Structure 1
Amino acid sequence: MLGRLLHLYFRIVRGMTLGVRAVVLDGEGRVFLVRHTYTPGWHLPGGGVEVGETLEEALAKELREEGCIRLTGPVMLHGMFFNRAMSRRDHVAVFVVREFVVESVKQPDREIAEAGFFPLDALPEGTTPATRRRLDEIAAGARAPAVW
């Protein structure tokens, strides 16, 4: 409940918001997804970029927090998206991550109910449409659209 209230607060109070999401792909063709405690569906891991933080720093922080994943190499920007479904001010940078180490199995906490790697052709029920679109774009090598 507190997570939902904080999420709503930030949607209303902040000016333009900037977030990051990671498409973490392992050597077996699986993608890492999370299910939050405060919103339905399976999502790409990510979160907000804080003042004084670079996009890559924010991405690394969110992967540590949401997946116990540490970056070990460069990330590739897939695209910048205007997320008008979230608000008229929200933008999301999506990165493809292929070089990483899973330091431990992510245990449920206040923010993350479940997390794990899933085959691209067998995504869990409830995977969000936006998550599916980003994965389809990356799999096809397609150019990212401007809108989430």
Structure 2
Amino acid sequence: MGWSVRLPGGVQRLVPRLIHGSARFVRPLTMGVRAVVERDGADGPEVFLVRHSYVPGWHLPGGAVEVGETAADAVAREVREECAVEVEGVPELFGLYFNRGASRRDHVAVYRVRAFRVLSRREADWEILEAGFFPRARLPDGTTAATRARLAEMFEAREPTADW
């Protein structure tokens, strides 16, 4: 026969909080998002890329998931901030990747964004040096290997990898 422990109500509600709270220090996990914002362009399909001031290369727009924020909310926020584009509807989760290059605990969720509205032209600032839509067939020099890999997985049916 099994056993059970009956804790007072306040303690019983506190135990899960203590367990989950301590995990932040024992097993901290970081989560980021990236977006493949795609549209039909004059020269064929295009994707939105950004070039940051603090890391080399052209990247898919994205960033960290903030405390209390869903990944889908984070991708919509990052696309608005980095692209001056408003996501309409729900972005489609494409894949989840382990980003061992960033840390032993970092993961990146990649979303596909097809429904959106361009708010304005994205001007350069301290974070984003350049940004815009590029034909998928002619990505700019310096497009990162991870960006090229995600686009190949999405559009060329390349076998997805677990690593960023």
Task: Return the TM-score normalized by structure 1.
Answer: 0.87
- The one-letter amino acid paired with 1:42 is W
RMSD: 1.3
Quote the residue 1:75 is aligned against. 91
Unaligned runs of 5+ in 1: 1-13
Unaligned runs of 5+ in 2: 1-26
CA distance in 2, matches of 1:22, 1:143: 19
- The one-letter amino acid paired with 2:49 is L
Quote the residue 1:43 is aligned against. 59
Quote the residue 1:17 is aligned against. 30
**Which one has the largest radius of gyration?**
2
- The one-letter amino acid paired with 1:107 is E
1:61 CA displacement:
0.6
| Corresponding residue pairs, total | 135
Deviating runs (4+, > 6 A) in structure 1?
Answer: none
1:92 to 75, 86, 108: 108
1:144 CA displacement:
2.6
1:27 to 40, 59, 68: 40
Q: Which moved more, 1:35-44 or 1:138-147?
A: 138-147
Identical positions, percent: 56
1:105 aligns with 2:121: yes
1:142 CA displacement:
4.1
1:73 CA displacement:
2.2
Q: Kindly indicate whether structure 1 or structure 2 has the higher relative contact order, using CA contacts under 8 Å at least 6 residues apart.
A: 1
Query: Alpha-carbon deviations, 1:123-146, whole Å to 9, x = none?
Result: 000000000000001112345321
Task: Return the TM-score normalized by structure 2.
Answer: 0.79
Question: Any idea what SS the aligned residue of 1:27 has?
Answer: strand
